Chains A and B, each alone.
Chain A
Amino acid sequence: MKEKSSVFSRFGDKKNRGRLMSFALVIIAYIAVEVLLKTGSLGSMFSSLLVPITCYVVAAIGLNLNVGISGELNLGQAGFMSVGAFCGICVSGILANSISAGIPRLIIAIFCGAILAAVFGFLIGIPVLKLQGDYLAIVTLAFGQIIKSIFMNAYIGIDTEGLHFSFVESNFKLQPGGKMLLNGPMGATGTQKIANFTVGTVLVIVALLVVYNLMFSRSGRAIMAARDNRIAAESVGIPISRTKMLAFVTSAALAGAAGALYGLNYSTLVPNKFDFNTSILILVYVVLGGLGNMTGTIISTVVLILLPELLRSLQDYRMLIYAVVLILIMLVTNNEWLMTKWKSLFSGKAKGGA
């Protein structure tokens, strides 16, 4: 019995350490930023990046659930963000008269953005997740492009007669005093900026809670089992497509929530903002942070968003240095000798690696 309890405590420690570290990281970063903001020592450029950073962190945590934990490549995370963003903007615009306070409206908008993105994820997942292989990557890539085109041609407005919607600009007419929510390729204009860094940080913590609670549960084990060995997973009674769907939909919902927060942080937002490059950028955050490693994802997202800004003084060489830093990080994190040294710094003793 003594041996049993020691096994449990060691096991529990190992699992909890990573979890606690990421929560501690977020909270410490939040306090540090708040102190810097209060003392006014944070430049306007950095303070304007705070909300976008939290958005990308949430989207990247979601993507890591799908790519790292579930092992399915998704090249359309920005597409889900844009669904969330424009849904959030519309919801906020519609509710502007009935709920004047910013925070409750923001929370409702984030919630709606997450739900709508999850619905889109579910619809895409039905046919695709029954297949094996790289089909999800291809379909999500196409989804990102299609959703961008849809938003570039969508006109949504609200007036005294209610909500108006059209894909043809000439058919679209609003009563005087009506408000344009989505104006085709111009995107959303005149959005009330109700997003703030505190809500963003809370959203990051919620995203971490959702992903970790899922990971260390029956569903999470099933997701990882389906990733590691599909045939064996089925043989112990795990339905593969339903399991992969859970990871994919959760990932899409987190991207939708992140998108809604992002959209409500700017007065104008064009659909082109969420293009293929953005999807790839989020994927880079995930791969660089480490597949399945949420703490790593948070760090890499923050570093890779701040890096181009910090390198601004280098002007033309900026993206060159950015690329070199990317390659260096890849090399270092793939170096086994360095990684074992790094890990032994924390754990103190090497165990289970034989």
Chain B
Amino acid sequence: MADNTDKNMKAPVLDVQDLGIDFGGLTAVNDLNMQVYDGEIVGLIGPNGAGKTTVFNLLTKVYKPTRGKIYFDGKDTAGKSVVDINKAGIARTFQNIRLFGNLTVLDNVKTGFHNVIPYSPITAILRLPKYFASEKEINEKAMDLLKIMELDKYADYKASNLPYGAQRRLEIARALATNPKLLLLDEPAAGMNPQETAELMDMIRFVRDHFKIAVLLIEHDMKLVMGICERITVLNYGMMLAQGTPEEIQSNPEVIKAYLGD
């Protein structure tokens, strides 16, 4: 925490304060404090069951927090719905891939533009000029995103027919379509081979620089986490165990203990 005094000069895009959630008697996340700044890639790691995905679900309002506050872009997000939080600028991918399986790859990305380039159903039914202008823009932007994620050759494939790694990249493309300020990636490299993972790292860096967004990612592949994250937060049993640069985390005795046992 001491290392980002320079970053404290500007407000964080995401500011989590004393966040906690209980499921019945079970405390899944407790006393979590973390900040993500503009243009940063932050890692969220921890052993299985540490509550990482629960944090993502709290940030995107799938769960309502029992305690604590989440500020996004300086505003309290209490009372917002999943849809609202996406409109506000948080987009996510899922650990267990959730694509629109019966839609084409291109249409999957196009759904992401729902609130970015809106027009009414009446415009669609009557095929007013605005329909053609909007669809043209959506088409071009969606194809650009597919190119970035190297999926353009699959554009008219059914999403469920894609290879596994490509499905993960498609989820990222769809999330980027919603024009987020903060991108949450839940195990983006799961099931990828080392070469695919290396390509993915380049893509995440490119996406961050190109769209000027912050990235918060959950990942078990330490090569990826240590390779691209500027800061890392470690969770264990729902509590924050450590926070710092990759070097600090790697040499932290608490973290080593949590991962390897006594």
Contacts and interface: CB of A to CB of B under 8 A. Distances in A.
B114 A222 contact: yes
Interface string B157-181: 1100100000000000011011000
Given A221-B107, A353-B161, A236 B112 contact: yes
Given A237-B178, A352-B161, A214 B156 contact: no
B100 A224 contact: yes
A13 to B, nearest CB: 10
Interface stretch (A4-12, A96-104, A156-164, A307-315): A4-12
A4 B146 CA distance: 11
B111 A219 contact: no
A190 to B, nearest CB: 36
A236 B153 contact: no
A209 B106 CA distance: 23
Interface in B73-96: 81-83, 86-87, 91-92, 94
A225 to B, nearest CB: 5
Contact of A4 (B110, B119, B152): B152
18 contacts: A3-B153, A4-B143, A7-B143, A8-B139, A209-B125, A213-B125, A213-B127, A218-B134, A225-B111, A229-B101, A231-B98, A235-B91, A236-B91, A236-B114, A236-B175, A236-B177, A237-B86, A352-B157
Interface of B: 60, 62, 81-83, 86-87, 91-92, 94, 98-104, 106-107, 110-115, 117-119, 121, 124-127, 131, 134-135, 138-139, 143, 152-153, 155-158, 161, 174-175, 177-178
Interface string A1-32: 00110011011001000000000000000000
B87 A237 contact: yes
A3 B81 CA distance: 40
Contacts of A228: 99-103
A254 B178 CA distance: 33
B92 to A, nearest CB: 6
Contacts, number: 115
Contacts of A210: 125
Contacts of B157: 352
A218 B124 contact: yes
Nearest to A353: B161
A306 to B, nearest CB: 31
A354 B82 CA distance: 34
Interface in A202-247: 209-210, 213-214, 217-222, 224-225, 227-229, 231-239, 246
Contacts of A209: 125
Interface residues of A, number: 35
Contact of B124 (A7, A214, A352): A214
A210 B118 CA distance: 19
B109 to A, nearest CB: 10
B115 A3 contact: no
Nearest to A14: B156
Given A219-B121, A219-B124, A236 B152 contact: no
Given A218-B134, A232-B98, A11 B156 contact: yes
A224 B99 CA distance: 11
A231 to B, nearest CB: 6
A84 B189 CA distance: 54
Contact of A239 (B83, B94, B174): B83
Nearest to B61: A234
Nearest to A234: B82
A69 to B, nearest CB: 10
B72 to A, nearest CB: 14
B121 A217 contact: yes
A227 B153 CA distance: 26
A4 B126 CA distance: 28
B161 A354 contact: yes
A311 B97 CA distance: 50
B158 A352 contact: yes
A33 B152 CA distance: 46
Most buried by B among A8, A218, A236, A353: A236
Interface string A275-293: 0000000000000000000
Contact of A236 (B111, B138, B143): B111
A225 B98 contact: no
- Which 6 residue pairs are nearest across A and B when measured between Cβ atoms? A217-B124, A232-B98, A237-B86, A228-B100, A234-B82, A11-B156
A11 B106 contact: yes
A21 B30 CA distance: 59
Contacts of A229: 98-101
Contacts of B161: 352-354
Interface string A181-214: 0000000000000000000000000000110011
Given A214-B125, A229-B100, A238 B111 contact: yes
A214 B178 CA distance: 21
